[in-house]
Structure 1
Amino acid sequence: MDLLANTVRPYAWGSTTAIPELLGTEPTGEPQAELWMGAHPGAPSRIDRGAGETPLSEVIEADPEGELGAETVRAFGPRLPFLLKVLAAASPLSLQVHPDLVQAKEGFADEEERGIPVDAPHRNYKDANHKPELICALTPFTGLCGFRRPAETAELLDALDVDRLKPYADILRARPEDEALSEVLTAVLSAEREAMAETVDAAAEAARRLGSGDGPHAPDHAVYAGIADHYPGDPGVLAAMLLNVVRLEPGEALYLGAGVPHAYLDGLGVELMANSDNVLRCGLTPKHVDVPELLRVVRFEPAEPEVLRPEATPDGEEVYATPVDEFRLSRHVLAPGSAPRALDDRVPQILLCTDGEITLRRTDGGTDAGTDGGPGGAELVLGKGRSAFVRAGEGVEISGGGTLFRATVAV
Structure 2
Amino acid sequence: MSPWRSMATLRRSWQSSHALLLLPIALIVVITVVDIRTPEDVHLGPALVIAPALTPSFAGPVATGLVGVLAIAAQFLIAVLHGGLTTANHIVQLITLAVFTVMVVIYSVIRDRRRAQLAQVRSVAEAAQHVLMWPLPEHIGPLRIASLYMAAEDEAQIGGDLYAATRCDGAVRVMIGDVRGKGLAAIGEAALLLGAFREAAHRQTSLPALAATLEQSVTRYSADFEPPEEAGERFATALFVEIPDTDPITRMTSCGHPPPLLLSPGHVVTVPSLHPAPPLGVGTTGSTDYTLDVFSFEPGDTLLLYTDGVIEARDADGRFYPLAERVARWTEAGPEALMHHIRRDLLAHTGGRLDDDAALIALHRTPAVQRQHGRHPVFEGLHHSSGARPRA
What's the TM-score, normalizing by structure 1? 0.19
- In proportion to residue count, which structure has more strand? 1
What's the TM-score, normalizing by structure 2? 0.20
- In proportion to residue count, which structure has more helix? 2
Larger relative contact order (CA 8 Å, sep ≥ 6): 1
**Larger radius of gyration between Structure 1 and Structure 2:** 2
